[in-house]
A and B are shown apart, each in its own frame.
Chain A
Amino acid sequence: KAGVTQTPRYLIKTRGQQVTLSCSPISGHRSVSWYQQTPGQGLQFLFEYFSETQRNKGNFPGRFSGRQFSNSRSEMNVSTLELGDSALYLCASSLTGTPEAFFGQGTRLTVV
């Protein structure tokens, strides 16, 4: 069974630009969560989607947004990029009704 797939693996963007990251969950998983990982703040919850609806949201500015499609694939978007947005962005998927979350390899975003 394929794991969680995130694309692209690496991105370099300029301040002020916007970026879209993609996540394909494990087949059959309908819940997708996004996390930001930085050396200073560690792993922080961004948001969770289930059945195309945002179910929970972390404490991040409105520049961070996401969506989920009918096939459970999810995208997150960051607009007006800042240097501090440089991080590893991780996506995790879960089977409905179970707590176990399985992470992808992440997208490494560098803002210059």
Chain B
Amino acid sequence: GENVEQHPSTLSVQEGDSAVIKCTYSDSASNYFPWYKQELGKGPQLIIDIRSNVGEKKDQRIAVTLNKTAKHFSLHITETQPEDSAVYFCAAAGASGYSTLTFGKGTMLLVSP
């Protein structure tokens, strides 16, 4: 089955800096890659996603890049703010259907003022 590796497990940045989280996946049949943000006591919130026919996607301060050949994808957050502090999860899906998401272990992002 699919396996998703996520790095780093924790990331501390200063407000205004950029943050990058990287994930690799194992199943070349995966074709959908969402990113979720989870705040304490809440469920994961979909923040951005990318499909395998696209190399990059941006939404304001957030961008995701995908390298199908290398089977890795990354989340980029620019001009970080304290409210960006949360746990971020990458996921992959497609081989068994879009609703069968395989998640990475998560990255705890801490943005200090």
Contact = CB atoms under 8 A, between A and B. Distances in A.
A23 to B, nearest CB: 11
Interface in A1-52: 4, 6, 31, 33, 35, 42-45, 48, 50
Contact of B43 (A45, A90, A94): A90
Contact of B98 (A4, A6, A58, A99): A99
Contacts of B91: 43
Q: From DSSP, what is the main secondary structure of chain B's interface residues?
A: strand
**Which interface class (under 10, 10 to 19, 20 to 34, 35 or more) fits A?**
20 to 34
Contacts of B42: 105
Nearest to B89: A43
B93 A99 contact: yes
30 contacts: A33-B99, A33-B100, A33-B101, A42-B103, A43-B91, A43-B101, A45-B101, A48-B99, A48-B100, A55-B97, A56-B97, A56-B99, A56-B100, A58-B100, A90-B44, A99-B49, A99-B93, A100-B46, A101-B34, A101-B46, A101-B101, A102-B46, A103-B36, A103-B43, A103-B44, A103-B45, A103-B46, A104-B43, A105-B42, A106-B43
A8 to B, nearest CB: 14
- Which 4 pairs, one residue from A and one from B, show the smallest C-beta to C-beta distance? A99-B98, A103-B43, A43-B103, A48-B99
A101 B105 contact: no
B99 A101 contact: yes
Contact of B96 (A6, A42, A56): A56
B106 to A, nearest CB: 6
B102 to A, nearest CB: 7
A45 B100 contact: yes
A55 B44 contact: no
Contacts of A103: 36, 43-46
B97 to A, nearest CB: 6
Given A100-B34, A103-B45, 18 more contacts: A6-B43, A33-B99, A35-B101, A43-B89, A43-B103, A44-B103, A48-B97, A56-B99, A56-B100, A90-B44, A98-B98, A99-B32, A99-B34, A99-B93, A99-B98, A100-B46, A103-B43, A104-B43
